[in-house]
Amino acid sequence: MLKVTYTETGLHLEYSPEPLSQVLSDRVYTYARAQRPMTMQPITANIPLSAVLIQALAWTQLQDFELTRCDRDWFEVTLSGLWLTEEPEAEHGIFVTELDLRLEQRLLSLWQWSHQCQAQKLRV
């Protein structure tokens, strides 16, 4: 399962070996015990990937993903999943999705490489 956490400072992508159903069950239980509201809705989310990285891979590792060019420096991968937050219109929360394990690991690696590329570019 992939989890994308959206905060005021950006997003963070991480892999979890737990199945989506278990994560959702645990989260609902936690919110209920804490007597906090919880919104869960199906949505699509976009994960940014560096255009330099995408071009270097010559698309071979990305044929399983829907890619959209955002601007000169970035592409986005669009994923379907669930949005979890306390408020329905909140801009921060958690997006979760479950893909084939191979795809999840590939996307996580590409996202990490993208941020390394961006950090190197900012230092130059």
| pLDDT digit string (tens) for the chain, length 124 residues | 999 999 888 889 999 999 999 999 999 999 999 999 999 999 999 998 888 877 776 566 667 778 888 898 888 999 999 999 998 788 889 999 999 998 899 889 888 888 776 656 555 4
Domain ranges within the chain, ordered by starting residue? 2-123
Q: Letter for the amino acid at 116?
A: Q
CA-to-CA separations, 12 to 34, 72, 95, 112, in angstroms, rounded:
25, 22, 10, 10
Q: Which residue has the tokens 């989890």?
A: 3
Tell me if 57 sits within 8 A of 68, measured CB to CB: no
CA-to-CA separations, 18 to 11, 76, 101, in angstroms, rounded:
20, 25, 11
